[in-house]
Amino acid sequence: MFFEKMLQLHQKEDCNLSSKLLETLKDGGIKANFADLRVGERGIYFLFPNKEVSKVMLYQAQIQESLFHTRGEPLVHLCACEESKKNFNHRDFLAIIKMDLRFFLGIHSHKIQRKFFNDKPLKLCPQCSQILSHYQEDLKVFFYRAKEDYYLDFNA
Ligand SMILES: [Zn+2]
């Protein structure tokens, strides 16, 4: 009886935490190094404590001024391209869900933030955006299929 109660409490806490995390993903995002992410061919997945899974976008939210001037604005990643495979646990990257493709961007030099944008429209990575052809070119469809795609990617 006691253990059942504990288990129920635990599951409830996991659910509360999971819905908080989802809110955060849709709001400011979660630093990639603090997120439980898996990068697959069909998406980048965020794993919740209650075992739910969501697709996320991944992009570099903090960028060096010099890099910003040479390479320009960061791109937004959706699946296993070279960039996302390399940076899915990098602290300057954010896991986030922003259907309007407008993002926070901080530009810094020598660890001092020089400038930031709150609603910067960013482009999808060309390699990653190809995947949308399997989802009617629609981000909503792409995100909606998180669970089945996670299964297909990892045979979970
Ligand atoms: Zn990409």
| pLDDT one digit per residue (tens) for the chain, 156 residues | 677 777 787 788 888 999 999 999 999 999 999 999 999 999 999 999 998 999 999 999 999 999 999 999 999 999 999 999 999 999 999 999 999 999 999 999 987 888 999 999 999 999 999 999 999 999 999 999 999 999 999 986
Cα distances (Å, whole numbers) of residue 119 to 51, 61, 63, 89, 142 = 31, 12, 16, 23, 22
Contact 17, 80 (CB under 8 A): no
Q: 57 alpha carbon to ligand 1 midpoint, in Å?
A: 9
Q: What pLDDT was estimated at residue 9? A: 77
Q: What pLDDT was estimated at residue 26? A: 96
Q: What pLDDT was estimated at residue 85? A: 97
Q: 27 alpha carbon to ligand 1 midpoint, in Å?
A: 21
- Residue with the two structure tokens 């659910």: 15
Q: 116 alpha carbon to ligand 1 midpoint, in Å?
A: 23
Q: What pLDDT was estimated at residue 1? A: 64
Q: What pLDDT was estimated at residue 41? A: 97
CA distance 74 to 92: 11
Q: 126 alpha carbon to ligand 1 midpoint, in Å?
A: 7
Q: Which residues pair with 57 in a beta bridge?
A: 96
Which H or E element spans position 152? helix 146-154
Q: What pLDDT was estimated at residue 12? A: 83
CA angle 128, 95, 144 (to 5 degrees): 65
CA distance 125 to 111: 26
Q: What pLDDT was estimated at residue 58? A: 98
Q: 128 alpha carbon to ligand 1 midpoint, in Å?
A: 4
